[in-house]
A and B are shown apart, each in its own frame.
Chain A
Amino acid sequence: MKTTGYLTVAAGLLAATALTDGALAQSGPIKIGVVTPLSGTYTPIGQQVRWGLELAAKEINAGGGIAGRQVSLVFEDEEANPAVAVQKAEKLFQVEKVDFLTGTVNSGSTLAVAQLAERNAKLAATTVSFADSITTDKCSPNMFRVNARAEQQSVALAAWLAKEKPKAKVYYLGPDYEMGRSTVAAFKSSAEKSGAPTGGEVFAPLDSKDYTQYFGQIRASRPQVLYTSVAGNDTVRLLTQLQDFGLLTNLQVVGASGTVTSQNIGAIGQAAEGFATGVGYSPQIDTPENKAFVAAFRAANKADPDLYGADSYGLLFAYKAAVEKAGSTETDKVREALRGLSWQTPQGAKTIRAGDHQAMQPMYVVRVAKGKFDIIDKVDADKAIGPDACTRF
C-alpha cells in the first residue's frame, strides 16, 4: 500500500541524509543547487542558465575545482512558480545540503527563495531576475545579484538614445503587469531626464495575441522611438506585427534586455533588425575571454550564449573566488568574501557592491544587425549603477 511505501522511501532518504551530514560535508564536492524553470513558459531561459552553469562547472573542475574540491550541480525544476521554487529550494538546502543556490528566473521566485535562504542560513544568487526590488527595497543579506538590474539597463540605453536621437519623441508599450509597468517607468524617467518627450504609453495584457489594436495610437502620436518591455512570445508577435503593418520604417525600436534575446530572435527574423537595448552582455564583446567563452559555449550546446547564459557562467567564478578567499563554505564567511568582490567575466570586470549585493558591471548598448547583437555603445559600471537603496544591511 502506498502509505507504507511513502514511509519506507521517506525513512530511507532520512537515514541517507543523516549519514552524509557532517563528516563528508567539508571534504566532498561543493554542491551548488540550481532551481530553475525547466518546464513552462520560461523554459528557454532556464536552458541558458543550465548551459552557462554547466560550462563553468566543467571548466572549474578541470582546473582543480574550488579550493581543491570539485563542484557538482544539482538541478530542480521550479516550473516558474514561486510555490514550487521554494519547495525545491528547501529540498536542495535540507536534503541535498547544497552550499549555494541559484537559478531562479521570475522575480517572485527569487524573492521567495531569498527569504528561504535567510531562514536556512544559506546564500543564494540570481543571474536572471532584473526587478529593481531584489536589491533595493526587498534586498536580503543572503541574496546576491550578478546580472544587471532594470535601472542599469535603462540608464545605459537612455544615455545612448540621448546621443543618437536627441530629443526624439518616445512612445511606450509595456506588458500590463507590475514588472512591465516598473520597467517602462524606469526608462521613461531616464529618458525624460535626458530631454526625450513622451508621445504616449499603453499597456497590453501579458500574452496578448494581437497588438494591432494599439498601432493606431502609436501612429497617431508619430513617435521616432518606440520603447517596449514585452518579452518572449509577446515580442515575436509585437515586432512581426509592426513589420507586417509597415510601421518599422523610420521608427527606432528600443526595449528591455529581455525583449529580444537569442531565444526569440530567430522567430522574429527581419523584424528584429535595428532593435537596440541596454544589456550586460553580447556575444560580440571583443575580448579574448569572451571569445573563448563563446567558442566553448557553442561547442557544448550548439547555440550562442545570451545574457542569461553569460551571467550564470560568471556567477560560479565569483563563488569560487569568494570561497577561496574565505577559506570555507560557511555562510557568514562567504557572504563577507562576496561583498565588494571583484572578478573577471566574459562581460568584463564585475564588482559586487557591499551595500546592496548588486553587481556593478560595464553596460553595453547593443543593436541587432543581421541577427546578431552588435555593440554600439558602452557605459562604465559606476555610471550605470545608480544609488544604493537597500536599507536592511
Chain B
Amino acid sequence: MNALDYLQFVLAPQVVNGLALGVAVVLVALGLTIIFGMLDVINMSHGEFYAIGAYAALALGAAGISFWFLLVLVPVLMVPLGMAAERLLIRPVFDSRDRHVTTLLVTFGLALVVEDLLKVAFGPNTQRPPTPIPGATELAGIIVPNYRLFLIVVGAAIVNGVAYVVYRTRLGAMVRAAAFDRNMAASLGVPVALVYAGTFAFGVALAGLAGVLLAPIYSVFPTMGRDFILLAFTVVIVGGMGSIWGAVVAGLLLTQVQALASLVISPVWTDPIVFGTMVAFLVFRPQGLFGRLGHA
C-alpha cells in the first residue's frame, strides 16, 4: 500500500470513525462515571441498563413510535426504573461497611437476572432497528455515514448538556455537595435521599439513551451489556471517577489508541493495551486525568 493511499484510506478516516466510536463509549461511560463519582457506587449492571434502553427502542420503534420521539421517551421511562433499582437494591446496602464491594456484588447479581430476562422477553436472536438517517457523506475522499455524523453531534450536545447541569446549575451544585459530604449537604437543606435516587436514575437514563442511540450501529442482543463494560470502566478510571470531561477525553483517547494499535500491531493486542493503560493509571495516577468530581 503506498503512503498516499494509507493516509487517505486508513489514517484520515480512522480519526473520524474513531470519533464516532469514541462518542459511543463516552455515552455509555457517562452514566457510569456519574454514579461512580457521585454515589461512590460501582454499578456492574450499567451495561444491562444500556441493553434495556436498546430493547425499549427496538420494541417501541417496532410499535410505530418515531426514533426522534424515542430519544426522549426511553430515557424518561428509564428514570422510574433507576429510582426503583436505587431504592430496592442500592439504598439498603449503601451504608454497609464496604460499600464498593457490596454494591458491586448486588448489581452483578442484577446484571445476571436482567440479561436472562431480556432473553425470555425478546428471544436470543440478534435484532436491529433500521438506521434512522441512511446514506453517507463524502468529505475529501473520506466516507462518513450520516448517522455517525449525527451521533457525533448529538453526543457532543449530550455531554455538554450533562456537564452544564452538573457544573453550572443549582441542581448540580446540590448533587456535588451531597457527593462531597452527605451530612454537611443534609444540614444545608439538600434532600440527600432524593438527590441520590435522582442521580442514580439519571445515570441509568443516560445508559438507556446510549442504548437508543447505539442500537442502529451495534445491534441489539441479550448479552450486549457486557460489550462496553470493561472499556467503560477503563474510561472512568483513566478519566477520573465522576469527571465528565475526564470521561470524554479518556473515551476519545482510548478508542483512538485502540483503533490505531489494531492497525499497527495485531488487533488481538488491543485488549492488553487498554488494560495496561488502566493499570498504569491506577498505579501512577489513581485520581485519573481530571481527578474526582466533588473531591478535587
Contacts and interface: CB of A to CB of B under 8 A. Distances in A.
Contacts of A268: 128
Nearest to B146: A244
Q: Is the interface of A mostly helix, strand, loop or mixed?
A: helix
Contacts of B18: 213
B117 to A, nearest CB: 12
B48 to A, nearest CB: 15
B126 interface: yes
Contacts of B128: 236, 240, 267-269
B220 to A, nearest CB: 8
Interface in B124-153: 124-128, 130-131, 136, 143, 145, 147-148
B223 interface: yes
User: On chain B, which size bracket covers the interface?
Assistant: 35 or more
Interface residues of A, number: 40
B93 interface: no
A107 B11 CA distance: 37
Contacts of A220: 1, 5-6, 8-10
A205 B268 contact: yes
Residue among A40, A176, A213 with max Cβ neighbours from chain B (10 Å)? A213
B218 A43 contact: no
A182 to B, nearest CB: 15
Interface in B200-232: 217-224, 227-228
Nearest to B10: A216
Given A210-B17, A220-B10, A244 B267 contact: no
B271 A205 contact: yes
Nearest to A271: B128
Interface string A24-57: 0000000000000001110110010000000000
A264 B20 CA distance: 24
A236 B259 contact: no
Given A267-B128, A267-B220, 15 more contacts: A39-B116, A44-B126, A203-B266, A203-B268, A209-B24, A210-B24, A212-B17, A212-B21, A217-B9, A232-B126, A237-B219, A244-B131, A244-B217, A264-B125, A267-B127
6 contacts: A205-B268, A209-B228, A210-B20, A220-B5, A263-B126, A266-B127
